[in-house]
Every structure is written in structure tokens, then in C-alpha cells.
Amino acid sequence: MSSPPPTLSGPRLVLRPGVPADAASLHRIRNEASVAQWWGRADPEDEIAAELRGESEEVLFVIDVDGDVAGSIQYVEENEPDYRHAGIDIYLSERFQGRGLGTEAITVLATYLIGERGHHRLTIDPAVANVGAIRSYERVGFRPVGVMRQYERAPDGTWHDGLLLDLLASELARAG
């Protein structure tokens, strides 16, 4: 990415471009039990710092709540004109879960991706068993497309199913 992503604001949070100094906080959050169960072992801090510098295909934002690093949200774009869309992924620290902040962060990013980046469709693909995340995504307007069998390897080495959800621009519910 040639320039850093913009800072995006919601009522209770800010999605901001990260800086390498955020890598330690994100690494710690990724190792929290409720995050690691879905994301697996955290990448090393230097790899997280590289992502924060824009050295990957994903565009990574830090979720900032009242000056605290609450987690991360990212998107990746498919820019082939006939298939153009964006995929989203998110994680929140345990202390910020269950407060609607995930729904708000997804809404803020989805609004940007549709309104500013021109995407007509967004996707997200949580584990089928991640019921809380799925509920949050559905509040934003994402709809189940189908189950992807044995989609992802769990931290314990077993395969589990993923749920593909998508959101069309016309379906974006203004959550928050």
C-alpha cells in the first residue's frame, strides 16, 4: 500500500493506522485465550510490526478505545474487476468483548469499504462455532452464504468448519 490507511471513527472507537510500537499490544491480545482459540498462536512481534508498516496484502487498523489498544481489524481487497470485493477480519481483547465494540468496528470499516473504496460486496469467514462473532456480523447485515467444511486448522491441529458470510452494499445496517 502506497499511503497509510485513513483514521476512521465510530461513536466509541477509532480505527487508526498502527505503528510498529503497537505490535507488542497486539501480540499480547492475540495470545489471550478467547482470541487464540480462534486465531491460533500469535505471529512474532516483528511480523506484526511489518504488517503495521503495510508490508502485507492486508490493510491493518488498530482498534483504539479511549487511548487503549483494544484489538485489530483488517481488510484485503480482490481488485480483479470482475470479482472486486473485500474481506474483513477482526479480533478484540477479552476486556473489550461483549460490549458491541466488534459490531461497531465492523460497521465503521464496512461503511468505509463500501462508501470510499467502492466495494459492492464484503465477506467474512469465522469458525462455525464462533457464535458470538457470527451474531455480531449479522447485526451489521452480513448473511450466511454457506459452510466451508474443514476450512481451517484449529490451534489443536484439528480441522473445523468455517461459515462464509457476505454483505452487499445495499444491506449494510447502520449499527451502533
Question: Mind listing the pLDDT tens digit of every residue in the chain (176 residues)?
Answer: 457 789 999 999 999 999 989 999 999 999 999 999 999 888 999 999 999 988 889 999 999 999 999 999 999 999 898 889 999 999 999 999 999 999 999 999 999 999 999 999 999 999 999 999 999 999 999 999 999 999 998 878 899 999 999 999 999 865 44
Instruction: State the pLDDT at residue 24.
Output: 96
Cell numbers for 37, please give them: 482459540
Beta bridge partners of 159: 153
Instruction: State the pLDDT at residue 173.
Output: 66
Assign 3-state DSSP to the chain and report helix, strand, coil percentages, each to 5: 30, 35, 35
Question: 18 in a domain, yes or no?
Answer: yes
Domain total in the chain: 1
Distance CA 37, CA 125 (A): 15
Instruction: State the pLDDT at residue 140.
Output: 95
Question: 56 in a domain, yes or no?
Answer: yes
Instruction: State the pLDDT at residue 156.
Output: 83
CATH number of the domain that residue 21 is part of: 3.40.630.30
Question: 1 in a domain, yes or no?
Answer: no
Instruction: State the pLDDT at residue 176.
Output: 40
Question: 133 in a domain, yes or no?
Answer: yes
Question: 2 in a domain, yes or no?
Answer: no
Count of alpha carbons within 13 Å of 91, Cβ hemisphere only? 21
Instruction: State the pLDDT at residue 2.
Output: 55
Under 8 Å between Cβ of 135 and 110: no
Instruction: State the pLDDT at residue 87.
Output: 97
**Structural domain boundaries, residue 99:** 8-171
